[in-house]
Amino acid sequence: MPDFRPPRPGEVNITLPERTDAALYFIGRIQTPWRSLKECPKNSAARKDVTATIEVDEPFAAGLKDIALLSHLIVLYWLDRSQRTAILQAPSHVPEPRGVFALRSPVRPNPIGLSVVELVAVEGNRLTIRGIDCVDGTPLIDIKPYFASSDSFPDAKRP
């Protein structure tokens, strides 16, 4: 069931197009300690010590071959409890409504969540990871190797 929060002052919603353009398969599930959106950690420091499990379903699990060669992964998942229309949003930590593409909010036109995680262990179709903040049971859509050469920008600036 969607778990929409009420709109905040200054938020702006759009009308989405009538048709979608592409379709995804759920390829597994992410098991975390957080049973509801309210329990999920709001900042990355809080989640860094917490272990979670990614379980990849058949027929996709064969694609995990050689994953243990990597120390870090990029995990993409489907935020299936998010509404998709809030184009300007007013999170409590910013003074004025901000555009959705300047926020890591789970509420977005295509509600794809992204976390860079540490790979702790691999056992069959199950990966133990650290560094994810999604609710228990979140559908998995992709796992990618993290490459420092193209993905790490330690000096990136943010507001």
Binding site for its own copies (CB under 8 A): 12, 14-17, 20-27, 44, 56, 59-60, 62-67, 69-74, 76, 78, 80, 87-88, 97-104, 108-110, 112, 114-116, 131, 139, 141-159
**CA dist., res. 48 & res. 121, Å (int):** 16
Q: Residue 50 or residue 103: which is nearer to its own copies going by CB?
A: 103
Nearer residue to its own copies within complex by CB, 35 or 46: 46
Q: How far is the CB of 5 from its own copies (least distance, A)?
A: 18
Contact 139, 78 (CB under 8 A): yes
Closer to its own copies by CB, 38 or 66: give it. 66
Residue reference for tokens 């979670």 = 52
In whole angstroms, the minimum distance from the beta carbon of 125 to its own copies comes to: 11
DSSP 96: S
Q: For the CB of residue 38, give the shortest distance to its own copies in the complex, in Å.
A: 20
- The SS3 call for residue 137 is coil
Q: Least separation, in Å, of the C-beta of 58 and its own copies?
A: 9
37 vs 70, beta carbon nearer its own copies:
70
Q: Are 134 and 30 in contact (CB under 8 A)?
A: yes
Q: Over the range 67-84, which residues count as b (16 or more CB within 10 Å of their CB) and which as e?
A: eeeeebbebebbbbbbbe
